[in-house]
Chains A and B, each alone.
Chain A
Amino acid sequence: AQRVTQPEKLLSVFKGAPVELKCNYSYSGSPELFWYVQYSRQRLQLLLRHISRESIKGFTADLNKGETSFHLKKPFAQEEDSAMYYCALSGRKAGNMLTFGGGTRLMVKP
């Protein structure tokens, strides 16, 4: 079975502070990991995926297979980063369906 865990429901930081949103997964194979974001009154959208190894809006995430983690990081948070963040896993089964974590609400205070 595949499972994604985001241990923090809420993360509150001040503008300019570093941010780390935690994600742990369980999967017996080589998963594809993603971060999706939902800004206020907007629809869920892809932020980044581990296979592309890119930085989007200053965010990066590294897949650590030893720790089965895919934490999302940003060195200096901005107020516009406030949103719901979901970590997701695709095990290449069931048409690449995604298994989502419970989400973390990031609040960046001025």
Chain B
Amino acid sequence: GAGVSQSPSNKVTEKGKDVELRCDPISGHTALYWYRQRLGQGLEFLIYFQGNSAPDKSGLPSDRFSAERTGESVSTLTIQRTQQEDSAVYLCASSPTLADYEQYFGPGTRLTVT
């Protein structure tokens, strides 16, 4: 079946512009996660959704970051007024429920802020 998909695969933007990253989880997966991976570093947790609810937003790096999810489907991560330090690969993952430890990852969106 189809795995987690993300779009765009690559995004180059100018400093100060807003960007929107999209994640389509595996159908039926209620839990959805966003991570960020800066060059040469491990993955950094950003936010998770249970259904369309994000109970804990403390992992978001700044108030320029926000995320939404429509029902148990698509999620968007929005970065306003992008900065060069936002350049990274943004990964989305989903799992059937929060109790399932295996997370299925998407291919990621590579964001470059010039």
Measured CB to CB, the closest approach of chain B to A89, in angstroms, equals: 11
- Interface set of A (CB-CB < 8 Å, partner B): 4, 6, 9, 32, 34, 43-46, 49, 51, 86, 88, 90, 94-103
Looking across the interface, which residue of chain B has its beta carbon closest to that of A42?
B107
Closest to A49 in B: B101
Interchain CB contact under 8 A, B31 and A49: no
Instruction: From known contacts A49-B101, A94-B59, A95-B31, infer whether A43 and B45 are also in contact, taking CB-CB under 8 Å.
Output: no
Interface centre among B31, B43, B56 (most CB of A within 10 A): B43
Check if A97 sits within 8 Å of B3, measured CB to CB. Answer: no
Q: Does B91 contact A (CB under 8 A)?
A: yes
Interface pair B48/A102, CB less than 8 Å apart: no
Contact of A44 among B31, B41, B105 (CB under 8 A): B105
- Cβ-based interface call for B102 (8 A): yes
- Give the interface of B toward A (CB within 8 A): 3-4, 31, 33, 35, 40-45, 48, 50, 55-56, 59, 91, 93, 95, 98-108
Cβ contacts under 8 Å, A94 to chain B: 45, 48, 56, 59
Q: With the chains together, A5 CA to B40 CA distance in Å? A: 14
Contact A46-B42, Cβ < 8 Å, known A94-B59, A95-B33: no
Q: Which residues of B contact A101 (CB under 8 A)?
A: 42
A100–B43 touching, CB < 8 Å: yes
Q: Which residues of A have CB within 8 Å of B31?
A: 95-96
- Of the candidates A46, A97, A103, the one whose C-beta lies within 8 Å of that of B102 is A46
A residues less than 8 Å from B43 (CB atoms) = 44, 86, 88, 98, 100
B105 with A102: CB separation less than 8 A: no
User: Which residues from chain A contact B107 at a C-beta distance below 8 Å?
Assistant: 43
Closest to A32 in B: B101
Q: Take A44-B91, A86-B42, A102-B42 as given contacts and tell me if A96 and B106 are in contact as well, using a CB distance cutoff of 8 Å.
A: no
Contact B105 A34 (CB under 8 A): no
Residue of A at shortest CB range from B56? A94
- With A43-B106, A43-B108 as known contacts, state yes or no: A96 contacts B42, CB within 8 Å: no
